[in-house]
Structure 1
Amino acid sequence: MFIHIGNESMIQTDQIISIINYDVLSSSHMMEAMLKSYKGKIVGSEDNARSIIFATDAIYFSALSVDTLTKRVHEKDIYYQVEMDVE
């Protein structure tokens, strides 16, 4: 399943490792170091970021809140489970 994460980007839900609040980045030296050392792709702008999505293929900055993204992931999971039950 795919979810829209803002900034005209979509990501597969099974690729998501973690979704964290962007404010954690500025308060954690470990998070800053992790972003700097990440050798993968970074998608999106930090300018209006409210959350950071760590995925298997990239790190995504999203203008959507952690709560909104979490709801979208769970809504897709529930829809998928209902769809599978119907079949």
Structure 2
Amino acid sequence: MYVHAGEDIMIRSNEIIAILEKETVEYSVEIQKFLQHKEDLIINLANGDFKSLIITEPHIYFSPIASSTLQKRLLDMQDHGLMI
């Protein structure tokens, strides 16, 4: 199954490693170092201010969609038996 991450981008749900809220990304020194190290993998889907960070197997996405909304969508898919 796929999750809409913003713009016209759909991410395979089984590739998602983590979904982090904006505040966690902004205030964590470790995450900032991680992002600097993985800068070539970052795709910014937020035309302006991002609301969440989605870490996947191939890429890292700055998303305009709130982490709570993304997590709710994943849980809804799981509840309806749509995820493996």
TM tier, shorter chain?
0.7 to 0.9
Partner of 1:71, secondary structure, is helix
The verdict on how the C-alpha distance between 1:6 and 1:39 changes in structure 2, with shifts beyond 3 A counting, is: closer
**1:78, distance to aligned residue in structure 2 (A):** 2.3
TM-score calculated relative to the size of structure 1: 0.82
**1:45, distance to aligned residue in structure 2 (A):** 4.5
The verdict on how the C-alpha distance between 1:78 and 1:61 changes in structure 2, with shifts beyond 3 A counting, is: same
Aligned-pair RMSD on alpha carbons? 1.7
Aligned residues: 81
Structure having the higher Rg: 1
State the percentage of identical aligned residues: 26
Kindly indicate whether residue 44 of structure 2 is the aligned counterpart of residue 8 of structure 1. Answer: no
Look up the match of 1:22.
22
Point out where structure 2 has 5 or more consecutive residues left out of the alignment.
Answer: none
Point out where structure 1 has 5 or more consecutive residues left out of the alignment.
Answer: 83-87
Kindly indicate whether residue 67 of structure 2 is the aligned counterpart of residue 52 of structure 1. Answer: no
